[in-house]
Amino acid sequence: MEEPMQGVDYIGLLEALHREIAPKVYVEIGVESPTRINMSSNVAIGIAPHPSFTGMLNENVQMFDETSADFFLKNDLLRYTCGRPIDLALLDGVHLFENTLQDFMNVEKYSHPATVVCIHDVLPQTARMAMREPQPDGWTGDVFGIAIALRQHRPDLFVVVLNVPPTGMLLISNLDAPNTKLHTDFQEICAEHACIDYEEMHSRQSEILKPIDFSSIFIDYLKSVKSLNSELRNLDRLKRIIKSDLRVQFGYDRQTAAR
Ligand SMILES: C[S@@+](CC[C@H](N)C(=O)[O-])C[C@H]1O[C@@H](n2cnc3c(N)ncnc32)[C@H](O)[C@@H]1O
């Protein structure tokens, strides 16, 4: 059991993201209550089968009562966004590695380079929480493996794990809509992931995806993302910001990971 995380929680992080990015298009997969999706005042698309929450969704929210896999199979998202790509997305549907990876792949198809994708529950506090079977007393599933897989198979992505309570958030940016690498490697990635357990995740975490604090440095990064949105996204600048301000490794070091 790890020490509980302190500080701004994941809801506070999402509020900051909405404030700083002001997404024109927000997508949320796995809508359990109106809290998060109502943070968006522009186009907001929610996807969850049989949503059963109480509370009102804002008028701008378009809610789709189906699985995320069905939604993306049957629909062209751009129909609901006046042709605009996604600026911010939260993936919090089925908490299994392969479902979440598929959600990421579907969202990336509708992204631009400065899109920010958040994946919830990537830092399980116990091995039990990280099991593939739902647990009654807190369950993250095995989505923790997404960060490792993206570092390995998509070193071009900006991937950072934030240790916001209760169970962390993965942030991904520098997206590349036409990239098909994950589609091509999907079976291989799932097979690799099946060999990683919770203990290995911990040992790899300190090497290749050490969680960082949610801090003012990160808010500066978000401000830069916002300006990149309107500036034809200078990716070199984005990489510089990530390297110097966030002090996280950009890309994946195969030698380190292979150890
Ligand atoms: C575990 S909840 C998210 C809870 C959230 N992590 C929290 O802490 O409040 C998962 C949500 O995903 C939705 N969901 C279940 N299966 C789904 C699927 N196949 N596609 C999209 N959403 C799904 C459920 O309806 C539920 O709202």
- 244 assigned to some structural domain: yes
H or E element at residue 5:
none
Asked whether residue 4 is assigned to any structural domain, the reply reads no
As for how many domains the chain has, the answer is: 1
Q: 23 lies in which domain range? A: 10-258
83 inside domain: yes
The Å distance, Cα 215 to ligand 1 centre, comes to 28
190 located within any domain: yes
Nearest CA to ligand 1 atom 24: 30
**Number of Cβ atoms within 10 Å of the Cβ of 234:** 14
Mean per-residue pLDDT, 174-180 = 93
Q: What is the pTM of this model?
A: 0.86
Assign residue 152 the CATH number of its domain: 3.40.50.150
pLDDT digits (tens, 9 = 90+) for 22-76: 899 999 999 999 999 999 999 999 999 999 889 999 999 999 999 999 999 999 9
CA of 31 from ligand 1 middle (Å) equals: 6
Give domain status of residue 3, yes or no. no
Nearest CA to ligand 1 atom 6: 92
Query: Is 1 within the bounds of a domain?
Result: no
Has residue 5 been placed in a domain? no
Pocket of ligand 1 (CB under 6 A): 29-32, 47-49, 67-68, 92-94, 120-121
Distance (angstroms) between ligand 1 centre and the Cα of 190 equals 21
Q: What is the pLDDT of residues 198-245, one digit of tens each?
A: 888 877 766 656 676 665 556 666 666 666 554 444 455 555 555 544
Q: Whose CA is nearest to atom 27 of ligand 1?
A: 32
Which of 32, 106, 122 is the best mutation target for the ligand 1 pocket, counting ligand atoms within 8 Å of the beta carbon and taking the most? 32
Sequence-ordered list of residues with C-beta below 8 angstroms from that of 210, at least 6 positions apart, any chain: 161, 248
CA distances from 83 to 24, 58, 109 (A): 11, 21, 13
- Cβ contacts of residue 30 below 8 Å, gap of 6+? 47, 48, 68, 90, 91, 92, 93, 94, 120
Res 250 pLDDT > 90: no
Q: Supply the pLDDT for residue 201.
A: 80
CB 225 within 8 A of CB 238: yes
